[in-house]
């Protein structure tokens, strides 16, 4: 009635039980419960790998330095908030798009806005 244990170390599948006589022996059932409880408490799951740092482009750094107060706000941003802007700027395919995004980013950063500020109060 019991199928093999799952790959993650779970108790396995007992299928559709229609009566108590279809349960495995009590000792085996207790062992499976115990093993499942121990597996749930063990730290087998790994922490997610940190995302790679995106280097600050020179043109964005120069624009932030030239804007009043923008660099101070930038330094106060979290890594994730910086990554949002850096990813947005560096993903531009054309140079004109990149320049426009840098100008917009510097304006928003100087105002203290995060990259997706438009959606924060939805």
Q: Could you report the per-residue pLDDT of 77-88, keeping only the tens digit for each?
A: 999 999 999 999
pLDDT at site 45: 65
Q: Could you report the per-residue pLDDT of 11-34, keeping only the tens digit for each?
A: 566 777 788 887 878 888 888 888
CA-based nearest residue to 10, from 30, 37, 42: 37
Q: Quote the pTM value.
A: 0.61
Q: 93: pLDDT confidence band, cut at 50, 70 and 90? A: very high
Q: Where are the domains of the chain?
A: 1-45, 58-119
Please give the angle made by the CA atoms of 5, 8 and 9, to the nearest 5 degrees.
50
- CA distance linking residue 24 with residue 41, whole number of Å: 24
pLDDT at site 111: 95
């Amino acid at each position: 009635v019991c199928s093999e244990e799952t790959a993650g170390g779970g108790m396995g599948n007992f299928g559709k039980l229609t009566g108590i006589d279809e349960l495995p022996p009590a000792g085996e059932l207790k062992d499976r419960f115990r093993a499942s409880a121990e597996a749930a408490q063990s730290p087998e799951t790994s922490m997610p790998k940190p995302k790679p740092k995106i280097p600050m482009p020179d043109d964005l750094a120069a624009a932030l330095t030239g804007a009043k107060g923008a660099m101070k706000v930038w330094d106060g941003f979290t890594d994730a908030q910086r990554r949002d802007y850096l990813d947005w700027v560096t993903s531009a395919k054309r140079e004109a798009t990149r320049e426009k995004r840098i100008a917009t980013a510097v304006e928003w950063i100087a105002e203290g806005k995060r990259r997706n500020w438009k959606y924060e109060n939805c």
